[in-house]
A and B are shown apart, each in its own frame.
Chain A
């Protein structure tokens, strides 16, 4: 026990100086007038020079949102959010005018450099610090195309030309509205309907940017695509919208990363991600979420209320969600798969770490509609400090889903006796030829393992990090390699006072 107790003492202090992404960028920005009303929605739409139908779509969402009530079923608690006391649009001045990377102000380039996200195509390398060592040893450094979203707008997208050659469209959703309005009109809101839930509806009204990906028939996207979200401005929320379509037989791997400065106030992040997979298409979607979690006393931090859903429309389509969730004061997030096409597959691999006063309520929904659909859920939760963590998931087998199969494994690890770990799985089955298997365990970091590792020479923090990495291995190996290295480090940093 004492060994663990000491670890807990270390872990209790979520030292804010360990959050190396907590800086702010000094750059002149313009804002929408504070508050939220129809004029705000019109302001955003006008800023983006959107077609009339888009404005109507937004206004419809806003009107519906006004009739909705904020949900309270998740196991999280926070003071009421004043939706009028925030900015819904913040952008670097003249952002819309950047024609090429050369025009992007150096403050912004420096910001991304500092975050380890290079925007110069020549030196694109996602795996930051040390990742290179491993990655390079293993194989040549892969190319990654990056879309950088700074507060409300996309400031740069790399490798567009090269991707265009392959027929892949990768651009900010604002640009896509101008250049491919027919695709946007067809797919936007087709997976997450406008009034799906309170936060998704809010997003539909005020979303300002995000990424758009279209991979045409039979194309295997030649490189990893990645969007890097950065919240910077004070008193703003970030409402991005991501839409990815993989047409028949297409494949794409997409990564997203998120960070925000340290602030005393709570900032709202309400994103919507929609994925569409047609026949034989595959989308791999990986997230490393590291929004500012607030300080050790729970002051500040991002409210991360996100709706992510994939529609496996096509036969034998496949969507795989992998997430490493270490940031945010509150997380409310359930990346889901609607397994509509016969033989379609959904996967959810998740590591969630909560420390300090963080609250995380996360999981997935696998809706089996088609025949022989398969889903697999591996969720690893680690709760430390005074945090609370919940796995909440739904596996639903509908009457026509002959031969559907699901396997779910949820494991929780508690570090210290001031935190909580909860598992709330919902399992619904209406087909006699389906099989489901669900296993869940909750345990603590083992004293025996800790001592064994220390006897071999590892100090306590290294031993904890190693054991936690072992605990998460099933999920870590699902991440693209560059991300996996970064994620492992992130785990260590999130859990300890001095490592990193």
Chain B
């Protein structure tokens, strides 16, 4: 396959932190990065998000992932089996013991987690297990300081008939690099309802993999983003339907301002057994200025015949007619644009049950759309 790459100093430091010999997965990971480097644009899944380039000159050294929660983890435990993908594997190799949260019958309000790297690099693994039949809410906030690098794996296990509402806020992280890889496994009848709001960073990637068992289970993945000057956000989703009668709905909407770059990669994979799958995925993006960029790959991989799957993608500017109409009614062009863009972006956030959170998120969207205040 691809020829070995010449490692950059950052990669050399990473490898130095991994065991240099032996056969366990940490050592193999070191050799893998030693040969291929970190993911870069020639790796299909990272085509538009060149992590290697973003970190090539990083001076991030030893650092720490700080996790402040609404409560302490139920347990910390060594990671017993290695995650399959490279980045969460690295998070597991360098992040120490996993923080395990169990959500049982009794819970006072949502489980809230603030995950931050203030300096250097921080890796970590968070595990959230929701017990059978429980309805729960998980809120995460991610922030990376300038020059820092955070690499976090989130593992979510939903038992049968559980429901998890997951709300992810990725705070603007100007010069920080962030990779969050989530793996969610659903039991039959489970419902996973995720909404992300992101403002990007030097490079940020929110990658979500969902194992969908079909049979009454439902997956909702929604997201919104606003990306200003120098911000890059990649939202990648991968839903695998393993059993029949599964439902998936995805809606992502985003806006890129001058110098902002948005990436959406969505994949719906329907296995042969997953007959009667009903999956729909949509991404709509708006380029608001010159030098803005949005790249999209909505992908279907389907092996079952009796399915209804669809995806849509649209990119464009604000509606000129609507703009004129609003200006005729007295708004300034900037104002009219902002109002139109806000209402465009509101759709994926509309379903949030918590009005306070919705208001706060919409305020953040508004703020990001008006960088000059």
Contact = CB atoms under 8 A, between A and B. Distances in A.
Interface of A: 72-73, 397, 399, 412, 414-444
25 contacts: A399-B290, A414-B307, A417-B275, A420-B302, A421-B300, A422-B302, A423-B298, A424-B297, A425-B299, A426-B47, A426-B297, A427-B296, A431-B287, A432-B287, A434-B287, A435-B314, A436-B313, A437-B313, A438-B311, A438-B313, A440-B300, A441-B309, A442-B308, A442-B309, A442-B310
A371 to B, nearest CB: 14
Contacts of A435: 314-317
Given A417-B272, A435-B315, A440 B305 contact: no
Given A420-B301, A443-B309, 5 more contacts: A432-B288, A435-B316, A438-B298, A438-B314, A440-B300
B302 A414 contact: yes
Contacts of B350: none
A434 B295 CA distance: 13
B312 A436 contact: no
A145 to B, nearest CB: 42
A498 to B, nearest CB: 22
A414 B305 contact: yes
B40 to A, nearest CB: 15
3 tightest Cβ-Cβ pairs between the two chains A and B? A414-B305, A435-B316, A432-B287
Contact of B293 (A418, A419, A429): A429
A437 B315 CA distance: 7
Contacts of B302: 412, 414, 420-422, 442
A144 to B, nearest CB: 39
B47 to A, nearest CB: 8
A434 B289 CA distance: 11
B282 to A, nearest CB: 10
| Chain A binding surface, main DSSP class | strand
A331 B25 CA distance: 38
Given A434-B315, A435-B315, A435-B317, A444 B305 contact: yes
A425 B287 CA distance: 19
A423 B314 contact: no
B314 A437 contact: yes
B297 A425 contact: yes
A429 B314 contact: no
Nearest to A433: B317
B154 to A, nearest CB: 27
A412 B311 CA distance: 12
Given A420-B301, A442-B309, A436 B287 contact: no
A443 B307 contact: yes
A424 B316 contact: no
Contacts, number: 119
A439 to B, nearest CB: 5
B299 A423 contact: yes
B306 A432 contact: no
B290 A417 contact: no
B310 A427 contact: no
A414 B309 CA distance: 12
Nearest to B273: A417
A440 B307 CA distance: 13
B124 to A, nearest CB: 33
Contact of B315 (A427, A440, A442): A427
Contact of A424 (B1, B287, B299, B310): B299
A377 to B, nearest CB: 12
A348 to B, nearest CB: 17
A416 B296 CA distance: 30
A433 B320 CA distance: 10
A416 B293 CA distance: 40
Contact of A428 (B275, B293, B317): B293
A97 B316 CA distance: 58
B308 A425 contact: no
Contacts of B285: 429
Contact of A422 (B289, B292, B297, B300): B300
B324 interface: no
Contacts of B131: none
- Interface centre among B1, B302, B307, by most chain A C-beta atoms within 10 angstroms, is B302
Contact of A434 (B48, B275, B303, B316): B316
Nearest to A407: B314
B314 A436 contact: yes
Contact of B297 (A414, A421, A427, A436): A427
B291 interface: yes
A421 B312 CA distance: 17
Contacts of A441: 308-310
B86 interface: no
B165 interface: no
A73 B45 CA distance: 12
B308 A443 contact: yes
A432 B298 contact: no
Contacts of B314: 435-438
B323 to A, nearest CB: 13
A428 B295 contact: yes
A32 to B, nearest CB: 33
A434 B304 CA distance: 36
Nearest to B48: A428
Contacts of A412: 300, 302
Nearest to B47: A426
A425 B312 CA distance: 10
A445 B22 CA distance: 54
A425 B315 CA distance: 14
